[in-house]
Amino acid sequence: MYKSCFEFKLTPKEVPSMGIMYVDHEKNGRSGHLSHALVRYRKDAIMSFYSNCSGKRNKWAPGHNGFGWLEYRKSFDNGLTWTDPEVFKYSWDSFLNEPFTVSCEKAVSTQENEIVALCIRNVNPNGWEPYLEPVVVRSEDGGDTWSEPALMCDKKGRIYDAIVKDGVIYVLMLAGEDFWPKNPEDRYFIYRSEDHGKTFVLHSELPGDTAGKSYGSMVIREDGSLVCYNYNSNDEFNMDYHVSCDMGKTWSESGKSYCAKRIRNPQVCRVKSGYLLHGRSGCNGTELPMNFVLYTSLDGIHWDEGLFICEHKTATAYYSNNLVMDMDDGSQRVLIQSSVPYSKGGVNISHWFVDIK
């Protein structure tokens, strides 16, 4: 019997399930890994990005690629219903005219109707990496119009998370052209913007080595401390974590955060009762399941035994993201968006809700 660290209501209530169908790529022979950026840009409005990519590219797992473009939809009732899809123009223009495709795993907002989309650029038409320098595309009218793309920094790499505190945007990026760090300069960096995402400066560098490390997540805990996490391919039961009490200027603690059902591509968020973590339950080997797992914690370091909320034999899904929404009655609703498999490499997009009183 699963025992969480605090009470919550999961929708769908059936466990495991394939979630609430959000984008049915299977019917069109398409796929949609990565690019699950979620942002609340007004009290009554949220935006969800997703990718619309080839269902055939990548011989190892057809559909596991970024060869396509991005679309987004809006919701004005906290994710219950959604508008028709709109094509993210920058990604479409890049797909047609540039030697790269565009993904967007994170987006943030610092003021009403503002959306700051943090985009990565992928050179490989049958996958993603090598990566180019990330770019920022902004909207000040809730996504009705978008700015021209602007380089976020001069380092090549992939953006893994972004958060806002006191109007300042903090972005976690793993520098390097490849998914796995290969050079000494391929490290985790935090970039900062104090002008609504118009410009960014290098804020800090995370401690520790990066050999065999990838993915990443950030959370600001109740005491104001910042925790940064990353995946360790050499130990899928333990995330690396680093704690800072001054938003990443200095680091006071580093350690291992144990996950009983393993974790890959961790996504962490703080809620009123504690912390949620979700992602794929590992990837290495075939003796352990590779499902979509949800954990809870009271401190963001020590997690419960985990709950498989989606199960499937394939191992190439469950790129995910979350959005915490404060409700009018004082409760919270967390929207979780994830790719879910319909074949070895082909994925649809599904939603789950976590409600916390």
**pLDDT value, residue 287:** 82
In angstroms, the Cα distances linking 4 to 1, 92, 272, 274 are 10, 42, 14, 11
Those residues of the chain that have pLDDT short of 70 are 314-315
Task: Count CB-CB contacts under 10 A for residue 271.
Answer: 18
Residues 118, 102 contacting (CB under 8 angstroms): no
Architecture of the domain whose range is 9-356: 6 Propeller (2.120)
Residue 219 sits at φ, ψ, to 5 deg, of: -150, 145
Cα within 13 Å of Cα(307), Cβ side: 20
Is residue 283 exposed (0-12), middle (13-18) or buried (19+ Cβ within 10 Å)? middle
Closest CA to 108 of 201, 196, 220: 196
Residues 72, 92 contacting (CB under 8 angstroms): no
Rounded-to-integer distance, Cα 163 and Cα 179, Å: 22
Parallel/antiparallel/unpaired status of strands 30-31 and 20-23: unpaired
Rounded-to-integer distance, Cα 157 and Cα 175, Å: 4
Rounded-to-integer distance, Cα 102 and Cα 106, Å: 12
pTM given for the model: 0.98
- In sequence order, what DSSP letters do the residues of 109-135 get, joined into one string? -SSTT-EEEEEEEE--TTS-PSB---E
**pLDDT value, residue 158:** 98
**pLDDT value, residue 173:** 98
CA-based radius of gyration for the chain: 19
**pLDDT value, residue 313:** 79
